[in-house]
A and B are shown apart, each in its own frame.
Chain A
């Protein structure tokens, strides 16, 4: 399968730099500093050149790059920017799979007729990303996701790297084994065995690699040859409804926020498109006056269309929210829309008359089939930690 990979390297840093041009002139570190134990979420290429790596403790990263400009992550904003990119790519191909923040795979089969050649298709992908986000991606086109991703990795931002069909092995051969998706332990062993390039690995017999590294060895041996059978898992968009409320004067009280939430829920549940349906998920998003965003997603145990139930959850979430600045805008999104739900009554409960009717009906069924076809759930070992031990079914025989 022909796959394209678009990748905006250091996506969070690229989004921050797009919004603040001054950051282009300095090294940037993004990380969550909580009780001095935060880790690096992303860093600029300059910081990476000084040895900073994603996932490294912040304290260590700041030691390696003391002049870096430090930023707290703005995940909702990065998510929004990436979503705009995905929507732009979906206009090119219906098969788009988000791989990581800033990186997406696109199914290209059947698109050749729309473009002059494959290079033009690659340019079209890059242009779609630029128009949607103002960011410049690297693009790789190849057979399979792994080769496409490597092709994007080795090309500079704005460039398109095209790997013709059947040339995957030759393309990958001189490249470093560190590009293979495998555990740190396997990487270390590859280094100890002197296997530096994918060509070194691919030249070994499969049996030897598999004997040394097991199932993972088989997989990376195939990838090093350019054989990647992992299917594309396209993003599936679900229907959602969103309402927002901008405040003339930023809100500072939680009570006012709950009142705004009530208003938004009333509007959402009153929309004709919502008619008779229930929502499984509610996402609250607040835009703070310092430019940052706070977001909270709530998944209901059961889909609900009950405003008071939603409001009850909203109150508890807002009450516990760490809001660090006044709120300029509040939005609520309802998603996971389902048909109206209803509560099922107990079969064996109800008034005396109904119980007698059920008992009589079961007696008739038993007379017809020889045994009661109705069963009842009984408690067996309710204290057990193993779920299947707690309850069992027993024939209902009135």
Chain B
């Protein structure tokens, strides 16, 4: 027989974290982001630092997203994705994976 732990029964409530938020993105005809509206500011995209696609969970609610890591004109880096099923843009922080934390990203011009 298992002894009673002596503690009151508690109900824990899980709350979602890092939910995607709607964002206004101006994209060109190829779907490449050109500008992002943050608050009341429209900021041009200085560089697309990275892009990757996620297609997952086809067995429940299918997810198909095209992520972009964008360097904005004011130096901020934001991660946005294009929901390919709903044709909507969302902003979402992209967590670092494990301990493979990169110190910096760089881009190059060679003349």
What's the nearest-Cβ distance from chain A to residue B105, in Å?
5
A77 near B111 with CB under 8 A, answer: yes
The answer to whether the Cβ of B63 comes within 8 Å of any Cβ in the partner chain is: yes
Could you write out 16 A-B pairs with CB less than 8 Å apart? A74-B111, A183-B29, A233-B35, A280-B75, A296-B108, A313-B103, A336-B75, A375-B15, A388-B92, A391-B17, A391-B95, A392-B14, A393-B14, A393-B16, A395-B13, A397-B12
- Number of interchain pairs (Cβ within 8 Å): 110
With A301-B104, A386-B57, A394-B12: A281-B75 Cβ-Cβ less than 8 Å: yes
* Range class of the A interface residue count: 35 or more
What's the nearest-Cβ distance from chain A to residue B63, in Å?
6
The answer to whether the Cβ of B54 comes within 8 Å of any Cβ in the partner chain is: yes
- Nearest chain A residue, comparing its CB with the CB of B55: A385
What's the nearest-Cβ distance from chain A to residue B107, in Å?
6
The answer to whether the Cβ of A69 comes within 8 Å of any Cβ in the partner chain is: no
A386 to B103, CA, bound (A): 23
A386 near B75 with CB under 8 A, answer: no
Which residues of chain B (56-111) have a CB below 8 Å from chain A?
56-57, 63, 71, 73-75, 77, 92-95, 101-111
The answer to whether the Cβ of A298 comes within 8 Å of any Cβ in the partner chain is: yes
What per-residue 1/0 map shows which CB atoms of A60-75 lie under 8 Å from chain B?
0000000000001111
A residues with a Cβ closer than 8 A to B are: 72-77, 79, 182-183, 216, 231, 233, 236, 238, 280-281, 292-301, 309, 312-313, 317, 322, 335-336, 375, 377-378, 380, 384-388, 390-395, 397
B residues with a Cβ closer than 8 A to A are: 10, 12-20, 29, 35, 42, 44, 49, 54, 56-57, 63, 71, 73-75, 77, 92-95, 101-111
With A236-B73, A377-B17: A322-B93 Cβ-Cβ less than 8 Å: no
What's the nearest-Cβ distance from chain B to residue A133, in Å?
17
A380 near B14 with CB under 8 A, answer: yes
A183 to B31, CA, bound (A): 12
With A74-B111, A294-B110, A392-B15: A299-B42 Cβ-Cβ less than 8 Å: no
With A233-B35, A296-B108, A299-B105: A388-B75 Cβ-Cβ less than 8 Å: no
A395 near B56 with CB under 8 A, answer: no
A297 to B105, CA, bound (A): 9
A299 to B38, CA, bound (A): 20
A335 to B13, CA, bound (A): 44
With A294-B111, A380-B14: A386-B54 Cβ-Cβ less than 8 Å: yes
Q: Which residues of B contact A392 (CB under 8 A)?
A: 14-17
Partner of B111, one of A75, A280, A387: A75
B103 near A293 with CB under 8 A, answer: no
A390 near B57 with CB under 8 A, answer: no
Other A-B pairs, 9, CB within 8 Å; known A236-B73, A295-B110, A377-B17? A75-B111, A79-B109, A299-B75, A301-B104, A312-B103, A313-B104, A317-B106, A387-B93, A397-B12
